[in-house]
Structure 1
């Protein structure tokens, strides 16, 4: 658990709710903080810190294993993903050992993600489902042409992602990877949001990915080619960032496709993405029904 508090979106009795995750379970804030409809609405109101404070005044209402955790931000306007953002990951590409001048970006749809504890779905169309552990930033303050020096002031929270990828489908086209990144429930975001309070919180986060307990990815955000600040500034040059927008900031080397032979995910596998100060996002794998 983090000292900053963890805010989760979840389902219980078929109803979508939100609350504060504590060592004893989830404090349901849906009616206790009735001013906000959901966590995206609270982000728009700059209220995540207030939600944490309200939650600490109450005891848990639900056991964590009795609810279904959802991706923390409901219905984000944009989910933007960054490719090739760690030096060792860049070195995997034969066409250039030097860092690229600009980040590679692509969109994902909300339906392509599930929540913590839910299975990733290996689709009928491919057996080449791969994992990518990433740190996620969530925008809290709208902006266009945001200066890099001001960018961190636009972050509301951080989270984690497993940016699940169908490796053969990302190569279907000459220039884009979108179709291989957007199969339903092929990735996950969560388990919760940790409100962002200071630059030191994200300056050099240790990030790991384990598959069935085996360490596969291990790096630090301080080594990213494009920093959090740069990504916000660059993206806001061409699109207005709004509260609740989600940015996946890239994955380290060590994905299954880079093994010889490749080690793709299969039903029953357990993938754990862990970052200091955020927590662990854990998912299993099932085949599409």
Structure 2
């Protein structure tokens, strides 16, 4: 089974570990000096080594006794790709073919919450929407990375619900940053899956369900801009460093595209799932 590295809270203490046998081997306790968080695993390329070294260890905590946390990375950058599936591009009534380069925007770490934690609907708007996506975590620095070498810079995979406040993406003429960065309006997780090869992501299903109803479904082989292209393009203008996260685009089917639109409400459950990576689940709650 693919190794799954989580960040968590247990008994008031933050930690990180590896999921095994229905529990968590606490790497932050066993390797406190060398690997106090997941950022250290990225820098040292230590996922495979620690998976091997801990293979015979019994879990330190039951999985149901820990609270999932956002991966304990310190990304210098979180960059998101917009409109990266053909059917998603077709939603725009401008008659254009797929654009030659990806549309990009930043998200801040504070805009994300963890697996099994609520996405927060702010008092400024009821238009909270979902976007299920695959996220690449950079492990090797690089600038102007060639497409042929791009995947060598990926250390891990995770999932994102790139939650969006729809009316706030229209507050200005050209950018969507405001509507993409309300605190805890999106989610990352549930864990990091080490990246071992292109077959992991070349043609896998990506789905989003709301209250059990399938809303989004597509395959990565249909992406307009491949994972390689995204890494190469972004690294043209900025140096990618370990911990950076690239969120790679969502299929069609968001709530904004229903007639009338269907927004997320308190009590709803959103599940983003991708083959070989996992399932990211969140409820919805109003900001207190």
Same structural fold, with TM-score higher than 0.5 when normalized by the shorter chain: yes
Give the superposition deviation at 1:263. 0.7
Q: 27-36 or 247-256: which moved more?
A: 27-36
Deviations 1:162-221 (A, max 9, x none): 000000000100000000000000000000000000111111110000000000000001
Structure 1's consecutive aligned runs of 4 or more residues displaced over 3 angstroms after TM superposition are: none
- 1:15 pairs, out of 9, 13, 21, with 13
Q: Would the aligned equivalents of 2:160 and 2:247 in 1 still touch at CA under 8 Å?
A: yes
How far 1:71 moved relative to its partner? Answer: 1.5
* Deviation of 1:61 (Å): 1.4
Q: Conserved in 2, the CA contact under 8 Å of 1:73 and 1:244?
A: no
Aligned to 2:28: 30
**Alpha-carbon distance between aligned partners in 1 of 2:119 and 2:84, rounded to the nearest angstrom:** 24
Contact kept in structure 1, 2:27 and 2:35, CA below 8 Å:
no
**What whole-Å deviation, never above 9, does each CA across 1:237-267 have from its counterpart, x for those lacking one?**
0000001101100000000000001111000
> What pairs up with 1:194-205 in 2 under 5 angstroms?
194-205=193-204
In structure 2, distance between residues paired with 1:104 and 1:47: 33
> Shift in Å at residue 51 of structure 1?
2.2
Unmatched 5+ stretches in structure 1: none
**1:93 and 2:127 matched:** no
> In structure 1, what is the Cα distance between the partners aligned to 2:73 and 2:137?
12
Alignment of 1:61-140 (within 5 A): 61-140=60-139
Contact 1:7–1:52 (8 Å) recurs in 2: no
Note if contact 1:19-1:55 (Cα within 8 Å) is conserved in structure 2.
no
Which runs of 5 or more structure 2 residues have no equivalent in the other structure?
none
**RMSD of the TM alignment (CA)?**
1.0
Residue aligning to 2:191? 192
Deviates more, 1:149-158 or 1:27-36: 27-36
Name the structure 2 match of 1:154: 153
Secondary structure at the residue paired with 1:242? Answer: coil
